[in-house]
């Protein structure tokens, strides 16, 4: 492949991912003024990785972690955002996102497509230090926004703490500190304020093991 063809493919990909700015998530901005979009979500977590790296359970390759966070929701250009508590949507999420990953990342030159697909699969697998930390950030960023917006999304959807805890099982696998010192107190505060339904006690929750 000559340089011009390679560059054309790379720029086509860069134009394609602009569509991520139009995929809106369920989470509100901290101000509660509107929902955030996927590109904002990815940017926010990439910066969080830089700031919070010291709290990862293991040493992580920061660039690799940031790249995972920046690319993992690109698939939602085709697959759409699947709400964390949408039982029916979650049944087909992996299939829809795998198909989207194959189309979108293969816009790139073959070597870069292979790398992006491998990183996407690594994030989804959650088996490496970088994937575990990235997934922890992907879990705490939405609850941080919910807390800042007075639990707006939780209250609108009538979310129960048992549902929120189901997602937070992955947080401690990437960062025990962020689970114990941030997520758990934040969730308890929102139970106390009536922003999320306290159907079980946080003390009953078994923290995930490494």
Binning pLDDT at 50, 70 and 90, where does residue 204 land? confident
Name every residue whose Cβ is closer than 8 Å to that of residue 97 and which is 6 or more positions away in sequence. Answer: 75, 76, 79
Tell me what percent of the residues of the chain surpass a pLDDT of 70: 97
DSSP symbols for 70-135: HHTTTTHHHH-PPPTT-HHHHHHHHHHHHHHHHHHHTTS-HHHHHHHHHHHHHHHHT-SHHHHHHH
Give me the pLDDT at residue 111, please.
98
Weakest-pLDDT range from 92-96, 134-138, 149-153, 173-177: 92-96
Binning pLDDT at 50, 70 and 90, where does residue 206 land? low
Note the pLDDT tens digit of each residue in 12-53.
999 999 999 999 999 999 999 999 999 999 999 999 999 999
């Amino acid at each position: 492949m000559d340089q011009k063809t390679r560059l054309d493919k790379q720029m086509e990909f860069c134009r394609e991912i602009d569509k991520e700015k139009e995929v809106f998530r369920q989470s509100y901005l901290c101000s509660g003024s509107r929902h955030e979009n996927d590109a904002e979500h990815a940017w926010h977590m990439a910066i969080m990785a830089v700031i919070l790296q010291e709290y990862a359970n293991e040493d992580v390759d920061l660039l690799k972690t940031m790249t995972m966070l920046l690319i993992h929701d690109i698939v939602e250009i085709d697959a759409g955002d699947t709400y964390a508590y949408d039982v029916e949507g979650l049944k087909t999420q992996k299939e829809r996102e795998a198909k989207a990953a194959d189309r979108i990342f293969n816009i790139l030159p073959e070597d870069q497509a292979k790398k992006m697909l491998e990183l996407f699969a690594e994030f989804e697998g959650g088996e490496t230090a970088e994937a575990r930390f990235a997934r922890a950030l992907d879990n705490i960023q939405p609850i941080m926004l919910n807390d800042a917006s007075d639990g707006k999304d939780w209250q609108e959807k009538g979310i129960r703490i048992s549902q929120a805890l189901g997602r937070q099982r992955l947080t401690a696998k990437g960062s025990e500190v962020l689970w114990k010192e941030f997520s758990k107190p934040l969730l308890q505060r929102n139970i106390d304020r009536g922003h999320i339904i306290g159907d079980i006690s946080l003390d009953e929750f078994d923290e995930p093991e490494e």
